Structure 1
Amino acid sequence: MRRIGRVLLLVMALAAITGQTSPQTAAWPTQPVRMVVAFPPGGATDVMARLLAQRLTAEIGQNVIVENRAGASGIVGSEAVAKAAPDGYTLLFAPSSHATLSELYPSLPFDPVRGFTSIATFARTPYLFVVSPGVPAQSMQELIELARRHPGEIAYASTGMGTAQHLAGEMLRRVAGIDILHVPYKGSGAVRADLLAGRIQSMFDNVAVMLPYVRRGEVRALAVTGPKRSPLVPNLPTLRELGLQEAEIEGWFVLLGPAGMPDDTVRRLNAAVNAVVSAPSMVEQLAELGAEALVGRPGDVTALIVGDRETWGRVIRGANIRVE
């Protein structure tokens, strides 16, 4: 009898443990999901995140709420996610600049790869190189010649040190052999206001964000940074066509979570994001923004981050770019 009693107690204990863990995993999600964007509202990362959040809400049956937590070139929001509980309810919608944070900040409080769980890819997009209307250059060649005649007088803006905009400008400076000045801003709103007003002469920026200004004639586009022409601006040459292929750059957007997320939750999220991304309406919507939908596995996310960290890390080290 004692033995039977002990067996019963063991069975009951196992049942209790199972009852505490399995339903939580099986039931995910049971509450709203917070998707952190580590940049201010209105930028390309914010625009893309809200596209995903709206569709993902319908796909998983819970609200996906975008939360902007800007600061320190994306570190503030990223660190908040890295330190969050790995339960699938706090996620990070990260742009390609996430990959180079550790190259720029030696004392970064997290590792861009090991500090996160890779979940899903979303989209990639080239950048446009644009100038303010007052710049007397109608083509990239004319802009380069102008910069050579006036070294240090033409400035290009970015939304922060080490961002894709900054690195693209640094590569253009090196490849074209021109002396142009980098002016980092703390947010997208201020930099575009100064560009439109002519207080800053040029910048690289995401097609999705800059195209409306180009179409309204508020800025002039001179080149596209991807390996092929954009169907949205088919007459615009690529940097490769102009002999500046070393300055090519494409942005991308991925979904991450805190390190240690349950495999089952990651699989569910990956499947849900892939369903959203592969929907014809989303593919079309992204194409209208100059972006390409990216269906992928968690391993593809890691490969993007590691690959860009190696590629642009060499540029950062070569130019001795550091952020204190």
Structure 2
Amino acid sequence: MSFTSFARPLAAVVLGLCAAQPAWAAYPERPIKYVLSSGAGSAPDTLMRMVLQEVGQRMGATFVVENRSGAAGLLAMQAIANAEPDGYTVGHGNTQTLGISPSLSPQSATAAQRVDLIVQVGYTANLLSVRPGLPVDSVQSLIDYAKAHPGKLVYASAGNGTSGHVGAELFREMSGIEIVHAPYRSAPAGVNDVMAGHVDMVFDNMAGSLPFAKEGKLKALAVTSARRSPLIPELPTVSEAGVKGFEVTAWSGVIAPKGVPADRIEAINRAVNAVLKEPRIIQGMRDLGYEVAGGTSQSFTDMVLRERAKWAGVIKSSGASID
């Protein structure tokens, strides 16, 4: 057989493989499921539906949001971790599921180890608010009042082990005060009781508390982020108002089961970062109380590991636990 006669069928095979490659590598070819640990209509749900609609347009795909709330986000995390690692099931990771819960239960720790982080979407400060009738008007006067009445002030949270709970415990430790925890079944229930005067204070997200503070139903003292919030720039941070170094933010991002091909992780990361630069998305997020994040998978991973270590220390020293 001549070299030419041998080369022709070989070339045909190579060309056939090359022609088949784009069809095999095309992504996405079908809708992508997005598993969310928050209920329909919640701030995270509204945020991600807004972002994912634009991401889907850039990727030529449809994102289908599956709301799977319950067990402090564990149900959603397990659904993501157990999914086929093909890029067609991704989901939501946040302060609770990636930062706090891994130090509270073995199941949460296992789930967090079985996901990869794609991109941080955004973050929001919490608002430190007190009941209108409490005779304080600043963080320092709150601390002074608490020290004068040890164990008398009661703070609400959305439940044991939530960010509102461990954030308040961090505040308690750093300010040297004694306050009592009152866990509720949800954040709105706790906020309602602060407004009604049944409990004294609460650390809650901006979306949940800021409207009530602007109406005078809550007395807002400070934001918990490192910098003042553009949503209420006249309000100081907790750090500048008396507890130096205090910082708590609620952050979230896109995650996937371990093993998704790197090119598919990169495709989602690239599309999300592009969307987060759009002015109307930036404004839409701010309207919900969020600031844009973005960045690489590695920067998201590094941030989560720092946060996890921070909350592990708070949980250990405070004895915080889940229900």
In structure 2, what is the equivalent of residue 254 of structure 1?
253
Counterpart residue number, 2:25: 25
Which has the higher mean CA deviation after the structures are superposed, 191-200 or 116-125? 191-200
Q: More displaced, 56-65 or 297-306?
A: 56-65
* Cα deviation digits, residues 225-249 of structure 1 (max 9, x gap): 1122222212211112123024321
1:225-278 CA-to-partner distances (Å, cap 9, x unmatched) read: 112222221221111212302432122111101111111111110111011111
Cα shift readout 1:140-164 (whole Å, capped 9, x = no counterpart): 2232233233333322222233332
1:311 corresponding residue in structure 2: 310
Counterparts of 1:1-324 in structure 2 under 5 Å?
19=20, 23-26=23-26, 28-97=27-96, 98-108=98-108, 110-112=110-112, 114-323=113-322
Tell me the distance in 1 between the aligned counterparts of 2:78 and 2:283. Answer: 33
> 1:286 Cα shift?
2.5
Paired AA for residue 281 in structure 1: R
CA 1:261/1:212 → structure 2, altered by over 3 Å: closer, same or farther? same
Deviates more, 1:227-236 or 1:36-45: 36-45
TM-score, with length taken from structure 2: 0.87
- Aligned residue for 1:247, secondary structure, equals coil
Bigger Cα displacement from structure 2, 121-130 vs 62-71: 62-71
Q: Secondary structure at the match of 1:128?
A: strand
Gaps of at least 5 residues in structure 1 are none
Give SS of 1:119's match. Answer: strand
- Alignment partners' CA distance in 1, 2:67 and 2:200: 28
Q: Cα–Cα, structure 1 residues 16 and 190, in superposed 2: closer, same or farther, change >3 Å?
A: farther
Residue 18 of structure 1: how far off its partner (Å):
8.9
Q: Distance in 2 between matches of 1:242 and 1:256?
A: 35
Q: What amino acid is the match of 1:161?
A: N
Cα distance in structure 2, aligned partners of 1:103 and 1:65: 31
Is the Cα–Cα contact under 8 Å of residues 39 and 73 in structure 1 kept in the other structure?
no
How much does 1:77 deviate?
Answer: 0.8
Aligned length: 318
Work out whether residues 43 and 209 of structure 1, in 8 Å CA contact, stay in contact via their aligned partners in 2: no
Give, in angstroms, the shift of residue 192 of structure 1: 3.2
Q: 1:246 to 1:316 in 2, by over 3 A?
A: farther
Provide the rounded CA distance (Å) in 2 between the counterparts of 1:216 and 1:65.
36
Q: CA RMSD in A?
A: 2.9
What is the letter of the counterpart of residue 104 of structure 2? L
CA shift, 1:119, in A, is 1.0
**TM-score relative to the length of structure 1:** 0.87
2:119 is paired with a residue whose SS is strand
CA 1:12/1:296 → structure 2, altered by over 3 Å: closer, same or farther? same
Secondary structure, in 3 states, of the residue corresponding to 2:232? Answer: coil
SS in 1 for 2:92: strand
How far does residue 179 in structure 1 lie from its aligned partner after superposition? 1.4
Matched residue type, 1:106? P
- The percent identity for this pair of structures is 34
CA distance in 2, matches of 1:61, 1:141: 52
2:106 match: secondary structure = coil
